[in-house]
A and B are shown apart, each in its own frame.
Chain A
C-alpha cells in the first residue's frame, strides 16, 4: 500500500512538472555585477567601489591653477581638456554554485554610457567615445567578465565658454552579450 502511494506520488509529480517550461535553469542563479573603482593613476572617485561614483575636479582653469592629483590637463588652440582614468569591473556569477547549470552564456558584456543632461558646449568623452544625452554610446561591445578595465574620462571645454560650474551625470549601463 505504501509502495503504491509512493509510485502514485512520483507519477503525479512527474506529470505536474513535465508540461510548460523546459530546459530551464533557475533564474536566480545568474547575476550581473557592476563596480566603479578609482584607477591607480587617476583621481580618487567619490564612492569608489560602488555602482555610483563622483569626480570632483574642483576649481580649474585653462592656464595656471591647481590640478587635482590623478587629473591631466591639455591645452589646445581653441579649447582645453581635463581627463582622468577610472576603472570599471563587470562580473557575471552563479549564485548557487552547487546547482549544475550547463546552459550557455556568452562570455562578454556590453558597456554603454549616456549623458543625463544635454550639453551642446562641452565635449564629454569616455575611452575616446563621445557621449550625448540622446542615445547610449558603446564603450565596449566585448568586455571581459572579471577584468578591471580602465577608461579615461575627458571633458573638453572651449575657450569661448564663460567661467562657471560644469556638472553632469553619466549613466554607465552594462548588459550581458
Chain B
C-alpha cells in the first residue's frame, strides 16, 4: 500500500514537473508559428552591466519555422538605460549574403524579400530615460521568399550635441531567421589541423558553407583518435548561424600535445536532423 502511494506521488511529481517545463517553454508572445528566441550565455541584465548607460533590445534573435503565406507577431522591447529620452523609428531590412558577407537591405530592395511584409504596430517610438518601450511586429512570409532573414530595427533618431558636430547614434536590430523548407545542406571545406609545438596546442579549423535554402546553426564535436583507434581527445565546436550562401570557419583548440604518432581527427556537426562530417589525418613529431 505504502509502495503504491509513493509511486503515485512520484508519478504526480513527474507530471507536475513536465507540465511546468512545457508551460515555461510555451510561454511568450509567439502567435501562430514555431519560433525560438535565442539568448546568449547568462551574464547580466540589460544595460546594467557595470551600471553603464546603454540601450538594450530583447529578444535579440528569433528563429521562425513557417510556411509561405503564414503570419506571426512578435513583441520587441527596447530598454533605455541612459539619462536621455531617445527616439527610434521602426524599420525592417532583409538580411542577405553578398560576396560572403551579410548585408542589410532596405525593405523592397530585393525581389522576394520578407522585410516589406513586416508591419510594426508603431512606426515611431520614444523610450524615456530608465524606461523601456515595447512594440509589436507582424510578419507575413511571402509566397516565394528569396531571403531567409530580416532585421527588425530600432533605428536611433535622437541627435546629440550641436549641429556643428559629428553625431553618432546607436541602433539595435533583432534578427529573425526563417526556416521554410527544412532544406539543411552544408558543404564542408577540408579540415585544417595546425599543431603549434611552441604553444603546446592543436587548432582545428573547419569551414562550412550553407548551400541549402534555409538557415543552419551547425554545432558538434571534433574527435581525435590514435592509430589504434582509441579516443585521444573530444572537443566541442560552438555553433554559428549560417544563412543561405554564407561561409564560416568553425574552430576548436586542444591545449596540450599528445605523444608522438599519427592521429585521425573527425568533425561531426549537426543541425536539427541533418548531420555533416569531415576528417583529416595529422601527426605529432
**Identity of the chain B residue whose Cβ is nearest the Cβ of A109 in the assembled complex:** B60
**Identity of the chain B residue whose Cβ is nearest the Cβ of A104 in the assembled complex:** B239
Q: Which of A34, A97, A146 has the most CB of B within 10 A?
A: A34
What is the total number of residues of chain B having a CB less than 8 Å from a CB of chain A? 84
Tell me which residues across on chain A come within 8 A of B101, comparing CB atoms. Answer: 138, 141
Interface mask (B157-197 → A, CB under 8 Å = 1, otherwise 0): 01111111111111111110000000000000000000000
> In the bound complex, do residue B49 and residue A93 qualify as a contact, i.e. CB atoms below 8 Å apart?
yes
> In the bound complex, do residue A21 and residue B26 qualify as a contact, i.e. CB atoms below 8 Å apart?
yes
Asked whether any CB of chain B lies closer than 8 Å to the CB of A110, the reply is yes
Q: How far is the CB of A66 from chain B (nearest CB, A)?
A: 15
Residue of A136, A146, A174 touching B103 (CB-CB under 8 A): A136
> In the bound complex, do residue B172 and residue A174 qualify as a contact, i.e. CB atoms below 8 Å apart?
yes
The answer for the CA separation of A4 and B86 in the assembled complex, in Å, is 55
Chain A 107-129 residues near chain B, CB threshold 8 A? 107-108, 110, 112
Asked whether any CB of chain B lies closer than 8 Å to the CB of A41, the reply is no
Tell me which residues across on chain A come within 8 A of B147, comparing CB atoms. Answer: none
Interface mask (B44-62 → A, CB under 8 Å = 1, otherwise 0): 1111010011111111111
Which residues of A approach B to under 8 Å, CB–CB? Answer: 6-7, 10-11, 13-14, 17-18, 20-36, 45-47, 49-57, 86, 91-95, 97, 99, 101, 103-108, 110, 112, 135-136, 138, 141, 145-146, 153, 155, 165, 167-177
Which residues of B approach A to under 8 Å, CB–CB? Answer: 12, 15-16, 18-19, 22-30, 34-47, 49, 52-62, 74-75, 77, 79, 82-84, 86, 93, 95, 101-106, 151, 153, 155-156, 158-175, 217, 219, 238-241
